[in-house]
Amino acid sequence: MELTVSDEIANVRAIEPHVVLLGAGASRAAFPNGEASGRRLPLMADFIEIVPVQALLDKCGVEWRQRGFEEVYSSLVEDPSQAAVVRELESAIYTYFDALALPNEATIYDALVLSLRSKDVIAKLGSLPQLLFLHGNVLAGYCVNHRVAGLKGNRASCGCALVPSQLLYPITKKNYQDSPLDSVWKEFQGHLKTALFVTIFGYSAPSADKEALDLMAEAWGEWKSRQFEQIEFIDRKSEADLLKSWSAFVWLGHHDVRGFFRDSWIAKHPRRSIEAFKSQERDAAFIEDNPLPDTTDLDALQSWFSPLIAAERNAAV
């Protein structure tokens, strides 16, 4: 059996979610030259060099040059005498990220969002995927009393005002389940349990984030029971390093490693990644790629999706 692009566009049958887990590496890939004003997106390895906190740490006599940011931050949180420094540090970081703005041209994130449907999930927008901010976000707000999430400044369904989310969690005491992020993590776990395909884009799964990995592993379950699911890595790390970090999730051979987003299942089969995967892997069909256009023109990119979205609307009638 051979399936053409037209066949793929018309095939709107999948109900399983495609879950995408984004890390700092995905943001760096999406904005290699920085955001609209040229501000760079940091990785943890260069966080202190990019986000303007060096002067504050030096002023307070904090040695940071031989340590990563997470270690520095955790040591400050654990020292009661540094409470004022912690508040100033958190404020400086929040201000930096709050000032970031999207460029006018289309980015990988625009392509990613348009390439997924409402059944799908991006954890870090026809219909758009759900967004879950597992580590907080400058536009996200939470009701502390009722563990409800939404847009900062709005009111939750419980009537409470949504306050800004926390961005930083000390590596020795993340406690997502005891924070307002608890509801977000529970929702993410629910999607992960039913996911057929998981794409991990630029997230290194650091050992320092053990609680996050444990919560994901709990939802994913025993890897031997996920014999039909697929995990895809979009990362520049070696396959050996990735499998070492994600050994609890990968069933023998059921993974792909892509160095670039354009080579991923999402980019080659936008809005139909699950249907395409099932056709190839379960039905043994020869499938034709329907790759995203190589453009930074946002209007042109959105127009390209028109036939896909039209097929979805027809299928819903």
Q: Give 158-192 as a DSSP string.
A: TSPBPEEPP----TT---GGGSTTHHHHHHHHHHH
Q: In what order do the strands lie in the sheet with 163-164?
A: 148-151, 140-143, 163-164
Residue 20's DSSP bridge partners are 122, 199
CB 276 within 8 A of CB 126: no
Give 122-149 pLDDT, tens digit per residue. 987 455 577 777 777 777 777 777 777 7
**CB count, 10 Å around CB of 311?**
19
pLDDT of residue 125: 45
Burial readout 98-114 (b: 16 or more C-beta within 10 A, e: otherwise) = eebeebeebbbbbbbbb
Whether 244 and 270 share a structural domain: yes
Is 38 a domain residue? no
Whether 121 and 242 share a structural domain: yes
Whether 225 and 154 share a structural domain: no
Mean pLDDT of the chain: 87
**Nearest by Cα to 90 from 143, 141, 166, 7:** 166
**Distance between CA 71 and CA 97 in Å, rounded?**
20
- What's the Cα-to-Cα distance from 29 to each of 19, 209, 290, rounded to whole Å? 19, 22, 22
Is 37 a domain residue? no
Residue 120 has pLDDT above 60, yes or no: yes
Residue 11's DSSP bridge partners are none
Residue 215 has pLDDT above 80, yes or no: yes
Mean pLDDT for 226-231 is: 89
Is 163 a domain residue? yes
Residue 248 has pLDDT above 90, yes or no: no
Is 198 a domain residue? yes
Whether 144 and 117 share a structural domain: no
Residue 170 has pLDDT above 80, yes or no: no
CATH for 258: 3.40.50
Whether 266 and 214 share a structural domain: yes
Residue 317 has pLDDT above 60, yes or no: no
pLDDT of residue 172: 60
Mean pLDDT for 53-79 is: 86
Residue 307's pLDDT band (cuts 50, 70, 90): very high
Whether 253 and 202 share a structural domain: yes
Whether 110 and 250 share a structural domain: yes
Whether 253 and 142 share a structural domain: no
Whether 110 and 256 share a structural domain: yes
3-state helix, strand, coil in the chain (%, to 5): 45, 15, 45
Whether 154 and 18 share a structural domain: no
Residue 111 has pLDDT above 90, yes or no: yes
DSSP E strands: which ranges in the chain? 2-3, 18-22, 121-123, 130-132, 140-143, 148-151, 163-164, 197-201, 230-234, 255-258, 286-287
- Domain containing 121: what range? 2-31+105-135+181-316
Is 119 a domain residue? yes
DSSP state of 16: S
- What's the Cα-to-Cα distance from 134 to each of 58, 168, 216, 223, rounded to whole Å? 30, 11, 11, 23
End-of-domain residue from the set 117, 150, 170:
170
Give 1-40 pLDDT, tens digit per residue. 899 999 999 999 999 999 999 999 999 999 999 999 999 9
Whether 126 and 140 share a structural domain: no
Is 176 a domain residue? no
Q: Identify which has the larger pLDDT, 166 or 193.
A: 193
Whether 295 and 166 share a structural domain: no
Q: Which of 82-96, 166-180, 183-197, 264-278 has the lowest mean pLDDT?
A: 166-180
End-of-domain residue from the set 144, 170, 196:
170
Is 231 a domain residue? yes
pTM of the full structure: 0.87
Residue 208's pLDDT band (cuts 50, 70, 90): low
Residues with Cβ < 8 Å from 13, sequence gap 6 or more?
A: 275, 315
Q: Is 278 strand, coil or helix? A: helix
Is 213 a domain residue? yes
**Distance between CA 231 and CA 223 in Å, rounded?**
11
- Number of domains present in the structure of the chain: 3
Residue 199 has pLDDT above 70, yes or no: yes
Mean pLDDT for 62-81 is: 85
CB 202 within 8 A of CB 25: yes
**Distance between CA 194 and CA 197 in Å, rounded?**
9
